[in-house]
Amino acid sequence: MEIRLGDVAPNFKATTTEGEIDFYDWLGDSWGVFYSHPADFTPVCTTELGRTAKLKDEFDKRNTKVIAISVDPLEKHKEWIKDINETQNTTVNFPIIADPSKEIANLYGMIHPNASDTLTVRSVFVIGPDKKVKLTLTYPASTGRNFQEILRVLDSLQLTANYSVATPVDWKDGDDCIIVNSIPTEDVPAKFPKGHKIIKPYLRTTPQPNK
């Protein structure tokens, strides 16, 4: 199944390291980061899960819940968490879905036959409170994810969902934003009281509206 930007994220029920969940109920009114791991007891995944645990305060600030999945069974997850906590000097503080039937992984298109027909690739889905998919990323199994980029994207998605702006190349929280082209130039001063700059008629910038 191919999930595209703007699609409603499929709901599912799952067994996790923090108990049984209904995905929509668990997500509630929060943003969500749902990401997959090729397998338990693998080195890159171990560092990623440890990093996620250490970033809990950053995700909390963004009203974002994180949930991971691999196709290994629950008891294997629980044993692996001990290794993650030990080697990454942290405590895993988010649920990991056990998906030995691969039902959820297939629902989200996380199985990549060109890589393996049994393991997941490193997929990332950012899901909004409206349960729609706002971002998808897919990494090969050999490449760990950049969680600072995931946080940066969350900042951009949440900003642009509430203000008539887009974020330019390499933008980070606090930088100037681009005024979307649907706003007529004559309406810009009233809508963006912090000021604006017209570089080209189609390229107008303004200080970040919520800072």
Strands (E), 113-202: 122-127, 133-139, 165-166, 177-179, 197-200
Q: Would you say the C-alpha torsion 78, 82, 85, 88 has a positive or negative sign?
A: negative
Contact 146, 172 (CB under 8 A): no
Q: Hey, what are 170's tokens?
A: 């390499």
Closest CA to 34 of 159, 173, 132, 171: 132
Q: Hey, what are 91's tokens?
A: 């405590």
The catalytic site residues sit at 45
Q: How far apart are CA 33 and CA 135, in angstroms?
A: 9
Q: How far apart are CA 205 and CA 59, in angstroms?
A: 28
Residue 101 DSSP symbol = T
